[in-house]
Amino acid sequence: MRVIRAAVVLCAVTAAPAAQAAPDGGVPPVSPAAAAVGFLDVRTVVPDAVLDLRYATANNFVGAQLYPADARCLVHESMAPGLAAAAAALRAQGEKLVFWDCYRPHEVQVRMFEAVPNPAWVAKPGPYSRSHEAGRSVDVTIVDAAGRPVDMGTDFDDFSARATAYATDGVSAAAQANRARLRTAMAAGGLAVYSGEWWHFDGPGAGVQRPIIDVPVD
């Protein structure tokens, strides 16, 4: 969920996840504005991705729907090889990646910080875009072959010490092993976990400050 933002605009829990599948297996093209900044729909590189975009529902820490109901998981094209590799590693074990959040518009980050104005848990919007706001970070988990959520010890956006990536206190050995398996799969694609959140992974250049990207998520 981590993000910091820019002031320059570049124009252009545990519930079973609900999968969004494109009609007939096809993925509609992203908007011209999204394409112009190098964004793609994650399903073009992870066809079996399970989308449970929490901010497209009220099932999130804000308690309100922040994205359109038909929001898509948009990521920068630089993340494509890594996500494909991570999904392949999990697929070989009969598991699938679940996406909780991908690209996040600046205005959404502002609303999040207004709801929880604590930078220890929610990044304060700032003068540059990076991480989710640049489409270069994702929040993910795993489902098993039957589509059941794998136990990770906490739900998404759990503001407690148990949610840190390497937590042991209050986190079962099984959940620790499941988190490690997720980290290993993501690392196979060169994606690095954020130590403060077991579900947050950064792609290449996630920490680079960029102008704000303001494109539709649907």
Active site residues: 197
Tokens standing for residue 57: 């529902």
The neighbouring-strand residues paired with 74 are 41
